Amino acid sequence: MQEVQRKIREKARNLLLAGSVDFVIGFEEGALLLRASPVFIHKENDVEKLIWDSFCENNLAAYLTKIGNKRVAVVAKGCDSRSIVALIVEGQIKREQIVVIGIPCQGMIDRRRIEKEVEGEILEVKEKSDEILVKGDSFEKVFKKEDYLYPSCRTCKHHNPVISDILIGKEVKERAQVDEYAEVDEYEKKSVDERWDYFNKEVNKCIRCYACRQACPMCYCEECFVDNSYPRWLEKGLDSSDLAVWHIIRAYHQAGRCVDCGSCERACPMEINLRFLTKKINKEVKNYFNFKTGLDFAIPPPLATFNVEDRQDFIDSGE
Amino acid sequence: MRNPYLPIPVKVKKTFIESEDRMLKTLDLIFLNKENKENFKFMPGQFCEISLWGKGEAPFGIASSPLEKDYLRFTVNRVGIVTTALHYLKEGDGLGIRGPLGNYYPIELFKGKNIVIIGGGFAFTTLRALTKYLLAYREDFKDITIIYGARTPGMLLYKEELKEWERREDLKVCITVDKGDKGWQGLVGFVPTIIERKAPSPEDAYAVICGPPIMIKFTLPKLIALGFPPERIYTSLEMRMKCGIGKCGRCNIGRFYVCKDGPVFNYAQLEKLPKEY
Amino acid sequence: MKKISKEDMNRFIQSLLSDYTVYAPVNIDGIFSFKPITNFQGIDLNYQNSKKPPKEIFFPQSETMFEYEKGKVTSAEKVSRKRILLGIRPCDAKANLLLDNVFAGEDYQDVYYINKRENTIIIGLGCRRPLSTCFCTSFGGSPFSRDGLDILLIDIGNKYIVDVVTDKGKEILTDKFTEASEEEVKLAEKIKRETEKRIKSEVKIEGVKEKLDTMFESPFWDKLSERCLRCAVCSYLCPTCHCFDIADEAKDSQGRRIRNWDSCMFPLFTLQTSGHNPRPTDKERMRQRVMHKFNYFIGNYKRAACVGCGRCILNCPVNIDIRKVLKEILTS
């Protein structure tokens, strides 16, 4: 980790000194424990702020849609790099503008689970190679990293960046045998009523803060459908039907575009299970179109193109 | 405790298309309840939030003076959902208003002084209210000059009244258009140019200027150059509004709310505020 | 000072339910919020603070203002049942006083807010374990402040010391509230003093307004808004934020007018129908947020719109810390 951190700083300094980029987007130490915070480095003196640890949970590709014509270096984990590919395929940024500092990722720690399993506030954190040691006023506990990863990290099959201009760190062995849709399969076994009750319970926690939308790199619409007034698709309050519509349509807009980075879940202050629908949609897209987002520059997203062989059995022929 | 969010019921007395492109329409509204009418006391410069059942609310400057007792006049530019619905109203249709809201032109300060009223386009609404008021108490004020410009003669508001005012001896009226038409006999030129030409004297005078931001941007320096000090140049600002009573937080410029501490401000006040409008 | 045992307190709360709607902290999947309870067992007081601030008891996130049908308007301003707000922290109680400036000030009375405020008795619970993100003391508060409360409860173990602050609070006491002994009161005072010392986070607010007066055009805002995601987490979870939107939800001319929380961080907040937006980018919106809380609000009401509850720091998806921001403002 320390070595990776040192190299990130070195590469960032070189890029800035050479004038290859206008600024570097990376992570700096968070204001809170168990957190890191995105940072924009404009001057080579500031590169010492850059860090790398198991709390670098944000998807920095979310910032790439507002860089305009600037040239930018961005620190990217496996999932983040797929978002970058997806954004390039959708024409939102140009490949030449971005210097991808790829970091093979071991997974990010689910800080909320750790916080829930201790009695009181965590006052000290020490990260070791495969453990996190936390201390509070009346407790001291050790957590094995691999047992406390975020749900999206536990089923990740792309730890290594799929593109990078600079690759820092040892390659991580991908786990080909992990079934990333196991959770979806479990839900599918439940009845429609059970699934609806679960979904309804989750979305009724929503406070329409749109943190999920803002944290997601693929939500870059200048005017989101919730703000359309003509036609007005849904209202802005906490009516149950509006909450359901907001989440359902957002999930649909992610079809063929979501990389399952989990940033939405991590950003949500109400801890809603936001990957419930997107995970299912990802599975459907994989089954119907044999497509996973962000792996190949040459393949357009399935909902932005068509193929003569596409299935048509769902179209009512009217007979 | 009166609920400041409840609209007062009114209905449409008369509608009138003002402009040749049909986007500007005047509505005269009357109260359904006598009590509401008697309690509604306002001054030129104030506005109302007009409520259309099922569509929403929007703020409009009151274009009639408090002495026009039989109606409240508003001129509406058709740009969105509420304004389009307002354009479709017919005589007798019901709607609601909340008001009077905001502050008003400082008539007390204007007493005994020369007044220069400058308007552009469809921002002339509250200036009509002001003019009618000043004319009703004509002896209280010295010289009154009106300079009003629109894109074409067909875009001028209140054309009949403008003609009446031009005929008066106690009023100096200069109507100008950016581009004339076949019948146009009056001035041609942008408002800032006309100001320069007519050069109203700043001596013992107040100026009131309402218009699109681009017009104000070029007219204001002309007034300053003529010698009008910022504290004697008044304007009426516009902002996106919802509550109209200083609670929803969106129409602020610095610590002032345009709906509550405005919309009338003078330029000395505006110079001290952040340029966020 | 009075006292009451915790079991008697539970019975007391249960007895209130027949005449009052009681809002108390409820734990759902580890997230605490103030909800109406049907039984004292639904209450979980084992918490630091609620996720959503209790301002929603007086200023709900979605509130119907009135309904209308063919021009006939029915206002929803009446409060049908008296309410008790139990377990609010002193920082949030202080925030209500700040909101009173906006909603119940001299100009225009917001009947919806005022009716709820007047019909609610507020029983606060002093904080025994402030977090490292708490900085109420920097804004004139404290873990056991009485401001904005009708009754303050101080947990001293198996009982509460009850500080009755107002007549409104006195009226609901029963004979189960007995006089506290001198030792018990001394213990409560000791707990108060020690807890206050545990608040390590210190934020200098003096001079911030004056510094901000000079900073409107500063490049400081470009830098600050770089990492902000422009969501509304900080605005919605803040106990002093009060911006809202008004909308009509209707079919033809039958429907209702509703107000919903809104945030200055959203792009539509100041967008005019002409397309002109006085705050076109993130920079202006971030500037507005900080200026409003630490400059404009002080200009209007002589107090900063912050009570140091720390919710914005704990919940910001990119870990922006307002304490750091204030420090940078003073040193920039």
Token look-up 């377990």 returns C87
Residue C205 has pLDDT above 60, yes or no: yes
Which tens digit of pLDDT belongs to each residue from A76-110?
999 999 999 999 999 999 999 999 999 999 999 99
Which tens digit of pLDDT belongs to each residue from A43-61?
999 999 999 999 999 999 9
CA dist A116 and A111 (Å) reads: 9
Q: In chain B, how many domains are there?
A: 3
Looking at the structure, tell me whether residues B48 and B157 fall in a common domain. no
Q: Tell me if A207 sits within 8 A of A270, measured CB to CB.
A: yes
Under an 8 A CB cutoff, do A121 and C132 touch?
Answer: yes
Tell me which chain A residues have a C-beta less than 8 angstroms from the C-beta of C27: none
Nearest CA in chain A to C280: A222
Closest in B79, B243, B246 to C246, CB measured = B243
CA dist C210 and C112 (Å) reads: 35
CA A202 to chain B, closest CA, distance in angstroms equals 29
Nearest CA in chain B to A232: B81
Under an 8 A CB cutoff, do A31 and C31 touch?
Answer: no
**Length of chain A in residues, anyone?**
319
Nearest CA in chain C to A137: C129
The answer to the question of residue B3 being in a domain is no
Tell me which chain C residues have a C-beta less than 8 angstroms from the C-beta of A46: none
Looking at the structure, tell me whether residues B62 and B79 fall in a common domain. yes
CA A208 to chain B, closest CA, distance in angstroms equals 18
Residue A319 has pLDDT above 60, yes or no: no
- Beta-strand relationship, B233-236 and B205-210: parallel
Tell me which chain C residues have a C-beta less than 8 angstroms from the C-beta of B238: 272
Interface A-B, measured as beta-carbon pairs within 8 A, has a size of 3
ipTM of this complex prediction, to 2 decimal places: 0.94
Contact of C65 with chain B, judged by CB distance below 8 Å, is answered with yes
Q: Please state the rounded mean pLDDT for residues B84-113.
A: 95
Looking at the structure, tell me whether residues B145 and B248 fall in a common domain. no
Q: Tell me if B87 sits within 8 A of B27, measured CB to CB.
A: no
Residue B216 has pLDDT above 90, yes or no: no
Looking at the structure, tell me whether residues B229 and B263 fall in a common domain. no
CA C277 to chain B, closest CA, distance in angstroms equals 8
Tell me which chain B residues have a C-beta less than 8 angstroms from the C-beta of C254: 54
List of chains touching C (3+ CB pairs within 8 A): A, B
CA dist C288 and C279 (Å) reads: 9
Closest in C229, C235, C237 to A215, CB measured = C229
Under an 8 A CB cutoff, do C278 and B7 touch?
Answer: no
CA B40 to chain C, closest CA, distance in angstroms equals 16
Under an 8 A CB cutoff, do A121 and C231 touch?
Answer: no
Tokens of A57: 């949970």
Closest in C66, C108, C270 to B250, CB measured = C270
Buried b (16+ CB within 10 A) or exposed e, B236-266: bbbbbbbbbbbbbbbbbbbbbbbbbbbbbbb
Residue C145 to residues A6, A231, C44, C89, Cα–Cα distance (Å): 47, 49, 22, 9
CA A73, distance to chain mean position in Å, is: 18
Which tens digit of pLDDT belongs to each residue from A138-153?
999 999 999 999 999 9
Identify the band that residue A177 occupies on the pLDDT scale cut at 50, 70 and 90.
confident
Which of B83, B101, B119 terminates a domain? The answer is B101
Which tens digit of pLDDT belongs to each residue from C103-146?
998 889 999 999 999 999 999 999 999 999 999 999 999 999 99
Nearest CA in chain C to B241: C270
Residue A175 has pLDDT above 80, yes or no: yes
Tell me which chain A residues have a C-beta less than 8 angstroms from the C-beta of B80: 229
Q: Please state the rounded mean pLDDT for residues C45-63.
A: 94
Which tens digit of pLDDT belongs to each residue from A253-303?
999 999 999 999 999 999 999 999 999 999 999 998 899 999 999 999 888
The answer to the question of residue B47 being in a domain is yes
CA dist A251 and A228 (Å) reads: 18
- 8-state DSSP, A22: S
User: Which pLDDT does position A318 carry in this prediction?
Assistant: 63
Under an 8 A CB cutoff, do B57 and C246 touch?
Answer: yes
Q: Which of A228-237, B101-110, C236-245, C284-293 has the lowest mean pLDDT?
A: A228-237
Residue from B106, B121, B115, B131 nearest B156 by CA: B121
Closest in C114, C248, C295 to B54, CB measured = C248
CA dist C48 and C57 (Å) reads: 18
Under an 8 A CB cutoff, do A40 and C133 touch?
Answer: no
Looking at the structure, tell me whether residues B18 and B124 fall in a common domain. no
Instruction: Give the start-to-end residue ranges of the domains of chain A.
Output: 2-110+149-303, 111-148
Tell me which chain B residues have a C-beta less than 8 angstroms from the C-beta of C112: 5
User: Which pLDDT does position B236 carry in this prediction?
Assistant: 94
**Looking at residue B15, which CATH number applies to its domain?**
2.40.30.10
Which tens digit of pLDDT belongs to each residue from B23-82?
999 999 999 999 999 999 999 999 999 999 889 999 999 999 999 999 999 999 999 899
Contact of C216 with chain B, judged by CB distance below 8 Å, is answered with yes
Contact of C325 with chain A, judged by CB distance below 8 Å, is answered with no
Closest in C111, C245, C271 to B242, CB measured = C245
Q: Say what percent of chain A tops pLDDT 70.
A: 99
CA A193 to chain C, closest CA, distance in angstroms equals 21
Contact of C247 with chain A, judged by CB distance below 8 Å, is answered with yes
User: Which pLDDT does position C109 carry in this prediction?
Assistant: 93
Tell me which chain B residues have a C-beta less than 8 angstroms from the C-beta of C245: 242, 248
- Which of A208, A218, A221 to probe the C interface (max C CBs under 10 A)? A208
Identify the band that residue C44 occupies on the pLDDT scale cut at 50, 70 and 90.
very high
Q: Tell me if B256 sits within 8 A of B273, measured CB to CB.
A: yes
Closest in B94, B245, B248 to C107, CB measured = B245
Among chain A, residues having any CB pair with chain B shorter than 8 Å are 229-230
Three-state SS letters, A53-104: CCCCCCCHHHHHHHCCCCCEEEEECHHHHHHHHHHHHCCCCCHHHEEEEECC
Token look-up 């409560």 returns C188
Contact of A198 with chain C, judged by CB distance below 8 Å, is answered with no
Contact of B93 with chain C, judged by CB distance below 8 Å, is answered with no
Under an 8 A CB cutoff, do B243 and C284 touch?
Answer: no
CA dist A7 and A28 (Å) reads: 14
User: Which pLDDT does position B137 carry in this prediction?
Assistant: 95
Nearest CA in chain A to B55: A229
Which tens digit of pLDDT belongs to each residue from C159-178?
999 999 999 999 999 999 99
CA dist C210 and C207 (Å) reads: 5
Looking at the structure, tell me whether residues B144 and B230 fall in a common domain. yes
Angle formed by the axes of helices A192-203 and A240-253, nearest 10°: 100
Looking at the structure, tell me whether residues B177 and B274 fall in a common domain. no
CA B270 to chain C, closest CA, distance in angstroms equals 14
Nearest CA in chain A to C268: A227
Tell me which chain B residues have a C-beta less than 8 angstroms from the C-beta of A230: 81
Nearest CA in chain B to A230: B81
Q: Say what percent of chain C tops pLDDT 90.
A: 91
Average pLDDT over all residues of chain C: 94
Looking at the structure, tell me whether residues B143 and B255 fall in a common domain. no
Three-state SS letters, chain C: CEEEEHHHHHHHHHHHCCCCEEEEEEEECCEEEEEECCCHHHCCCCCCCCCCCHHHHCCCCEEEEEEEECCEEEECCCCCCCEEEEEECHHHHHHHHHHHHHHCCCCCCCHHHHHHHHCEEEEEECCCCCCCCCCHHHHCCCCCCCCCCCEEEEECCCEEEEEECCHHHHHCCCCCCEECCHHHHHHHHHHHHHHHHCCCCCCCCCCHHHHHHCCCCCCHHHHHHCCCCCCCHHHHHCCCCCCEEEEEEEECCEEEEEEEECCCCCCCCCCCCCCCCCCCCHHHHHHHHHHHHHHHHHHHHCCCCCCCCCHHHHHCCCCCCHHHHHHHHHHC
**C302 exposed, middle or buried (CB, 10 Å; 0-12, 13-18, 19+)?**
exposed
Q: Please state the rounded mean pLDDT for residues B176-186.
A: 89
Q: With a CB-CB cutoff of 8 Å, which residues 230-289 of chain C face chain B? A: 242-248, 250-255, 257, 259, 262, 264, 269-274, 276, 278-279, 284, 288
Under an 8 A CB cutoff, do C244 and B248 touch?
Answer: yes
Tell me which chain A residues have a C-beta less than 8 angstroms from the C-beta of B81: 229-230
Instruction: Give the start-to-end residue ranges of the domains of chain C.
Output: 2-197, 208-331
The answer to the question of residue B2 being in a domain is no
Q: Say what percent of chain C tops pLDDT 70.
A: 100
Residue span of the structural domain in which B164 resides:
107-236
Looking at the structure, tell me whether residues B12 and B48 fall in a common domain. yes
Token look-up 């605005």 returns C235
